Structure 1
Amino acid sequence: MILFFSALFITIAIHAQNTIQGTITDTGKAQLSLANIIIYEVGNKEAITGVVSNEEGSYKFKSIKDGKYIIEVSVLGFETKKSDEFQLARANFKVDFTLKEETQNLDKVVVKVSCPIIFCSAHDDYLFEAFNTNGIAYILKPYSADDFSKALEKYQSLFKQSRYSSDLNNKTLKALKIALQEEQAHYKKRFVIKRPKGIQLLNTSEISMIEASGDFCIAVDQEGKRHPISQTIGSITEQLPPKKFFRINRSEMVHMDFIEEIESYFKNRLLISIKGCTKKVMTSSSTTSDFRKWLE
């Protein structure tokens, strides 16, 4: 009996699982969602698994065996960061990350501006400097329609007492509208795919379809090669041009340029043959109508 319980205890200890969790924030303590968190075993360049942070910036790895690990975190617009090596041994481990925004070193350029300026930024670092120049409003991200409305009302109010012509006012409004449209229409052109021997750039124009696989996705190119992307399909959908890519169901997205054949199927669904894919994919009954319109 003693031997039996000893053996049972050893078995439980061997199969004990570890949990790793934490929070991703920026330097201003704002929580970062949709961050890609990947875990590596020390000495192995191949990722063990990965997760995506939720709306509160939290992440969690479950069922990680004992060992020595490194965690890498990346998110669009921020510098990629790696943890120090840490030893995991049957415990709940916590690793938080604070990410810095990516910066570009540019030569200083002095521009003299004589017209009123509405500043739009993600930081308040230049607030004082803005109002030492010709700034009349300072709008912080995330922008809202109300923010721009108030700023333009202020401009128009000052304009009535100024020397600026109405032609300048119209030009300013038109330029602002174009700038906002360009920002909204900025879609991803390529994905960075991590490989054991380095990285690979996968152009979105070469992707024939994308399928969800847990917290990751698999992109299939026109030659049938499969490429892992450490993002959810929801996140990827927002980054791709809707005129080219359509999410036909909860877990699959297709590229219009690689659709070879479409067949009718039962319950108002469609079977789609995609270049580079050995299997056909199917629309859901709820997306079929919108898919037909998208094709037009």
Structure 2
Amino acid sequence: MKILILEDEIPAYQKLVTYLTDYLKSEPEHDWARTIKDGKQFLDDNTYDVILSDIQLLDGISFDLFDEVSLNTPIIFCSAHDEYLFKAFNTNGIAYILKPYTKKEFNGALEKYQSLFNKGDYGNLNTDVIVELKSALKEENTTYKKRFVIKKSKGIQLLNVSDISLIEASGDFCIATDNEGKRHTISQNLGSISKQLNPNKFFKINRSEIINIDYIITIESHFKNRLLLTITGCKEKPMTSSSTTSEFRKWLEQ
């Protein structure tokens, strides 16, 4: 088995070689690149049975390399990025393990590769997958608001964004309802707040309300193509507008 390792961190590379040696019962035949430039040179001059790749290399991300070369080699990503990034995968020819991974997890990824390879049942990393992965990575690296500073009569309180179930416009301010039903005044308008929130979690269902997907209890059909939502901590049921219902349905399924 000939392997290409794309890994910019020396300790992580050494760990991969150690695990490979233990798994294969001998030191693997492999090449090692820490940059896109060197990785491209190896791929231009050689063919490999499998590629073990980190996401971040010294001179960029490995997706840029895979975008440049034509590959029919299975890839196992070894990365510290959050698991949701890899929802973009749509082929069973790709596996991933998250740093810090264990030997058991590493062996499981190799076993999956070998099983698919023996069946001839793995898929290639195509252009569409690369585009989705880049998009997911860009979103993962975007910094969203984690908490709001709320001024109360007794002082200042920190409101974690993850605890907010509903945000309602109220003039130049907004009222945030948390998962315990408590209401908090945020000294910003709805448009400003919307730009600071993770679009995977929060959706503006009408002109004056934003909901958190984690606190949706039930969704009911309503008149004029609207949806009525039951939200944790909220007595009243917010409603989608006719113009947002279609996008809301798509958002729920992403």
TM normalised by structure 1 equals 0.41
Q: Which has the higher helix share?
A: 2
**Higher gyration radius (CA):** 1
Q: Which has the higher strand share?
A: 1
TM normalised by structure 2 equals 0.47
